[in-house]
A and B are shown apart, each in its own frame.
Chain A
Amino acid sequence: MKDKIAEKLLLFIAFSAILSLLLITFFIFQQGIPLIFKVGLSNFFSTHWAPTRGNFGILSMIIGSLMVTAGALVVGIPFGLACAIFLAEFSSPPIQKTLKPIIELLAGIPSVVYGFIGIVILVPFIREHFGGPGFSVLAASIILGIMILPTIVSISYDALLAVPNTYREGSYAVGATKWQTVVMLLLPAARSGIVAGIILGMGRAIGETMAVIMIAGNALKIPHSMLDSVRTLTSTLALELGYATGDHRAALFACGSFLFLIIILLNIIAIKITGRK
């Protein structure tokens, strides 16, 4: 009897995560989607954002988000993969035990601290050495690249460790070097995990807000170079939610709905890829 009640209660509790997800989806869509229907897709996906005057175009922010995310991947993928390969295949257990928590610590540093480091070091550096305002696609890409490193490292690392040892032994037995084994056998075998890590890293980059606001400059136009200021979907949300009312607020939620949809899609792809094995 006691066991039956406990089981029902736990089942109820166990649905808390999926229930939260549904609540989030419902409320964000409910606040945002009606506005998209009201103003039409051509207005919503235009480049003109003046929400207090009836222009709700988010295209330049979408492009902004895509640019900084692509930039983050250019920085994050090589370094992330290098760390994962080095940790999983080229280092002894004591080195692994020291380095892995250090790299994971990167994930624990608050995003505002990354943004701050961007403001005081990276932005002035870019302004002096490359020109432009410093607050730029480039600055955001580098900081986001560092921020998504731990995600890429830990998932790729787990994927590499999951490759059976017989692969390595067989490869060494036929005289291959460690590096050859990594490139020809281990990376292909761990491919799905690595791709999942990259996709999750991409999700983190698209969704990151505070660090981006602090260093991207937030100008409302499509950037023409890596040194131009850029405004992302997330920055618009965070910059304007505090004072927006009426249709303006609804437009922010519409923007949030679009962002949420992309993130959920990326999550589902990543979950499918890792779940397949």
Chain B
Amino acid sequence: MTFRIGPRTNQIIAYSILLLMTLITVVVLFFIIGYVFKNGIGQLSLEFLTDKTRDMGKEGGILPSILGTFFVTIFAIIIATPLGVGSAVYLVEYTKGGLIHRIISFGADCLAGVPSIIFGLFGFIFFVIKLNLGWSIISGGLTLAVMIIPTIIRTTEEAIKAVPHSFREISYSLGGGKLDTILKVVLPTSLPGILTGVILGIGRAVGETAAVIFTAGSSLGIPTSAFSSTRTLAVHFYILAREGISMPKAYATATVLIIIILLVNFIAYRLMHRFMAKYY
């Protein structure tokens, strides 16, 4: 006689396994964040955040890296936002499927899948060497901009699509042209969604290492101009950890990084959620 498991029992077993695996995934996430916080949060102080880095990072704080991260990211966002939002507007409002739509979409999807080390190689040869911008905030910012364009395009596209069609029709019926409708109706309505894309882009830029280490460099000085080489937080953390310079400082820097990432994701999630709840 063969022992046969009934479909109900089977269902319960399957459910338990799925639940267990999902829980493991969630636990891994909390473990990673918790472990870094446990070892790093005690090292944090106002002094650590506002002091210069001394002795390669063994002593002092992370002010240069905070400033470097800030400038590189802002630069990337300033370049990528108009390009990303413009692309999305064109995709949704001006193309009705067709070849151009497919080419642009393909470009965005493909670019989104390119690994950061390739952006690093490209930024190094194009911005740093060919355009002679050197290891600088500009080179790092431009490289990151190229990297986050797809994120902004995709999120903005979703947001613009969510704007009810009636909004546009009302604008047209009042005599508004296409551009007026986009500027005065479509973009303001989809602003929270667009911001979500920009914020997610900030998150990617802040956490990035491979693309910035070869374009912004790893100088520990306080940046004085857009042409200064700088070491972002992620790069600083990488060097501290990999070269074993100082574990306490590495944990502290990682904690700052993770706090920024958590904040960014939380804000992006809340914004998108509110926006979608309103129009979907």
Chain A residues near B (Cβ < 8 Å): 2-3, 6-7, 9-11, 13-21, 23-24, 27-28, 31, 78-79, 82-83, 85-87, 90, 99, 101-106, 108-117, 119-121, 146, 149, 176-180, 182, 200, 203-204, 206-210, 213-214, 234, 237-238, 241-242, 252-253, 256, 259-260, 263-264, 266-268, 270-271
Contact = CB atoms under 8 A, between A and B. Distances in A.
A242 to B, nearest CB: 7
A90 B262 CA distance: 27
Contact of A15 (B89, B107, B120, B130): B107
Contact of B87 (A17, A121, A256, A271): A17
Nearest to A98: B26
B225 to A, nearest CB: 23
The 10 closest A-B pairs by CB, nearest first: A207-B115, A18-B107, A110-B207, A13-B86, A82-B21, A14-B90, A17-B107, A10-B90, A267-B113, A209-B117
Nearest to A175: B7
A172 B262 CA distance: 40
Nearest to B181: A3
Interface stretch (B44-52, B56-64, B236-244): B236-244
Contacts of B26: 99, 102-103
Given A86-B19, A108-B207, 16 more contacts: A13-B83, A16-B149, A17-B150, A24-B122, A24-B146, A28-B121, A87-B22, A108-B265, A110-B261, A111-B207, A112-B241, A179-B10, A207-B116, A210-B210, A238-B117, A238-B210
Given A28-B125, A234-B117, A237-B117, A116 B241 contact: yes
A78 B115 contact: no
B125 to A, nearest CB: 5
Chain B interface mostly: helix
A209 B210 contact: yes
Contacts of B125: 27-28, 31, 253
Given A11-B94, A85-B18, A270-B113, A108 B118 contact: no
Interface string B166-186: 000000000001110010000
Q: Which residue, of A14, A114, A260, has the highest number of chain B Cβ atoms within 10 A? A: A14
B91 interface: yes
B168 to A, nearest CB: 14
Contacts of A214: 238, 241-242
Nearest to B85: A13
A266 B17 CA distance: 31
Contacts of B11: 177-180
A192 B10 CA distance: 26
Contacts of A270: 113
B154 to A, nearest CB: 10
Interface in B118-145: 118-122, 124-126, 130
A210 to B, nearest CB: 5
Contacts of A120: 35
B87 A177 contact: no
A10 B106 contact: no
A253 B104 contact: no
Nearest to A270: B113
15 contacts: A2-B179, A14-B90, A20-B107, A21-B114, A27-B130, A86-B18, A103-B25, A109-B29, A109-B33, A115-B242, A182-B14, A252-B121, A263-B114, A268-B110, A271-B110
Given A17-B111, A109-B207, A256-B121, A177 B8 contact: yes
B104 A18 contact: yes
Q: Which DSSP category, helix, strand, loop or mixed, fits chain A's interface? A: helix
A117 B206 CA distance: 18
Contacts of B275: none
Contact of A14 (B104, B115, B238): B104
Contacts of B8: 177
B191 to A, nearest CB: 18
A118 to B, nearest CB: 10
B7 A208 contact: no
Contacts of A121: 35
B208 to A, nearest CB: 7
B128 to A, nearest CB: 11
B14 A179 contact: yes
A203 B83 CA distance: 25
Contacts of A111: 116, 207, 209-210
Contacts of B203: 108
B108 interface: yes
A216 to B, nearest CB: 12
Interface string B202-243: 010011111001100000000000000000001001100110
B279 interface: no
B162 interface: no
Contacts of B178: 3, 6-7
Contacts of B113: 200, 203-204, 263-264, 266-267, 270
A14 B86 contact: yes
A256 B203 CA distance: 26
